[in-house]
Amino acid sequence: MTAEATVEVRAVRGAEPRRRAGWLIVARKEFADHLASARFIILLLVLGAATLIPLYIAADAIRNVADLVTDNRGAFLLLFLATSTDSPVPNVLTFVSIVAPLLGVAFAFDAINSERSDGTLPRLLSQPIYRDDVINGKFAAGLAVIALVMFAVFAVISGFGIFRLGIIPSADDAIRLLTWYALTVVWVGLWLALGLVLSVAMRRAANAALAGFGIWIAIAIFGRLVVEAIAGALAPISSAASLQEQLDLAGLQNAILRVLPLTLFQEASAVLLRPDKTTVTTPATIDQLEQLGQQLQGQYLPFDQSALLIWPHVVALAAMTALCFAAAYIWFMRQEVRA
């Protein structure tokens, strides 16, 4: 998109190696601001409490399972998946997939428009930094704060599992968890980038926040309904159809559902956290369906096979994030400094 511009930027920066990159200075200031802000406290409370409570409730269930499957791979990852059958509290994965977008929006919705309304934007842009340093630095700072807190929460959950429940992660488990952590950061990054777009597009921070949360609710609740309706209309499954036809239609419906980033994240997460999950798609042929039925319980995929399975999901999510950020970037670069 801006290959030429980037080259030019590098060339100019190369001429003065002693100057620290502008985006780092912006990011540092924004990072410090975030850590001191009320929303950081809220982030800690919400993420911390709401991941630890389901964990606590699910602890008994996990302990019971863990006794049975101590030599099983993936037992450690149950910490993030397990939920108590007699409690409505969702597991950690469900929770992260729902709350992370809200956090992403919360840390970006006022990034640019507040600078504008406070009258600090012209002053900031008249300093010897590139204009993209501002938006890059803000994105980096928001992502860093959320990644930091997420890391802390994951570490607490892991520690809880190791010390309270005595479940030691295998190397494979650890890699899976770290990969899932990276995926979660990308997931948050997508919403952070959306927040940035809104903060560039909308002059009032309150409107941007409302729009962001509205989009999230639309995608999380209505999006699924709408996409399911579209899939149903495009590929109606009738009972009269043959098994093969029904499988084809189900596959098509699945593919349409993947338009939603939420589907991508949840499918990829499920594969990463459950080594026994050997497929993300519904079986495409009758043969595959039969194979699936014949698969023995307790068959596990090594990490690299799971990674292969969800690679397209990860790429798609990363591409959506990049696209969103690019939109915010280009829009901001073209916007007039004056309101």
Partner 1 sequence: MTTATRPSRRRRGGASEGSGTGSSAPIRTRALTKRYGHRIAVDTLDLEVRSGEIFGLLGQNGAGKTTTILMLLGLTEPSGGSSRVVGMDPTRHPLEVKRRVGYLPDSVGFYGNMTGRENLRYTARLNGLRGDDAEAHIDAVLEQVGLTDRADGRTETYSRGMLQRLGIADALIKDPDVLILDEPTASIDPIGVIEILDLLRRLVRERGMTVLLSSHLLDQVQTVCDRVGIFAHGRLIGVGTVAELAATFGDGAAHLEVAFQPHGPDPREALRAVEGVDGVELDADAGTWRITVRPVSASPRVREAIVDAAARGGLRMTSLHELEPSLEDIYRTAVAGMTRGFAVDETIEEASA
Query: Taking the CA of residue 217 as centre, how many other CA atoms within 13 Å lie in the half-sphere pointing to its CB?
Result: 6
Q: How close are the terminal C-alpha atoms of the chain, in Å?
A: 26
* Nearer of residues 115 and 172 to partner 1, judged by Cβ: 115
What b/e sequence results for 244-266 when a residue is b if at least 16 CB atoms lie within 10 Å of its CB, and e otherwise? eebbbbbbebbebbbebbbbbbb
129: its two tokens: 């930094």
Minimum Å gap between C-beta 126 and partner 1 is 4
CB of 14 or CB of 293, closer to partner 1: 14
CB of 150 to partner 1, least distance (A): 25
* For partner 1, the closer CB: 129 or 307: 129
- Shorter beta-carbon distance to partner 1: residue 16 or 287: 16
Q: Which one-letter amino acid corresponds to residue 87?
A: S
Q: How far is CA 83 from the centre of its chain?
A: 21
> Which tokens sit at 85?
């059958």
Cα–Cα distance for residue pair 292/296, rounded to 1 Å: 9
Q: Which is nearer to partner 1, 23 or 303 (CB)?
A: 23
State how far the alpha carbon of 119 is from the alpha carbons of 108, 123, 229, in Å.
Answer: 18, 8, 46
For the bound state, the minimum distance from the C-beta of residue 16 to partner 1, rounded and expressed in Å, comes to 5
Quote the least distance from Cβ 19 to partner 1, whole Å.
Answer: 5
**Are the C-beta atoms of 164 and 51 separated by less than 8 Å?**
no
Query: Which one, 36 or 240, has the nearer CB to partner 1?
Result: 36
Shortest Cβ 212–partner 1 spacing (Å)? 22
- Cα 313 to Cα 183: distance, rounded to the nearest angstrom: 10
Burial 290-304 (b: 16+ CB within 10 A, else e): eeeeeeeeeebbebe
Q: What distance in Å separates the CA atoms of residue 83 and residue 55, rounded to the nearest whole number? A: 8
Task: Indicate the burial class of 222 (C-beta count within 10 angstroms; 0-12, 13-18, 19 or more).
Answer: exposed
Q: What is the largest CA-CA distance in the chain?
A: 73
Shortest Å, Cβ 107 to partner 1? 16
Closest separation in Å from C-beta 123 to partner 1:
6
Using CB under 8 A, list all residues that contact partner 1.
12, 15-16, 18-20, 22, 25-26, 29, 33, 36, 118-120, 122-130, 336-338
Cβ-contact 73, 157 below 8 angstroms:
no
Smaller CB separation from partner 1, 200 or 314? 200
Cβ distance to partner 1 smaller for residue 221 or 337: 337
CB of 295 to partner 1, least distance (A): 58
